[in-house]
């Protein structure tokens, strides 16, 4: 419910319209925009980001998936 309300507020429409016309692309765009805005605010406030992956962690995840795929 909060997601529908936030999207509707951001795009200036009713939540029922978001529910009726929205799709996963809309959700993805909204999520990326809100996450990026939060990332920039944290960066400006010099607050460390604890919810973002480190490059090494992503590489380890990628490597483990690749290993499973080749087995």
Q: Which helix (H) or strand (E) holds 26?
A: helix 24-44
Closest CA to 40 of 25, 24, 52: 52
Q: What is the DSSP string of 49-69?
A: PSSSPPHHHHHHHHHHHHHHH
Q: What are the domain boundaries of the chain? A: 2-70
**Can you tell me whether residue 37 is helix, strand or coil?**
helix
The whole-model pTM stands at: 0.61
Write the pLDDT tens digit of every residue in 1-59: 888 999 999 999 999 999 999 999 999 999 999 989 988 888 888 866 666 778 888 89
Please give the Cα distance from 40 to 66 (Å, whole number): 32
């Amino acid at each position: 419910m909060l997601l529908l309300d936030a999207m509707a507020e951001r795009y200036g429409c009713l939540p029922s319209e978001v529910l009726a016309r929205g799709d996963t692309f809309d959700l993805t765009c909204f999520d990326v925009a809100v996450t990026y805005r939060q990332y920039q605010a944290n960066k400006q406030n010099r607050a460390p980001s604890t919810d973002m992956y480190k490059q090494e962690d992503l590489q380890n995840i990628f490597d483990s998936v690749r290993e499973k795929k080749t087995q």
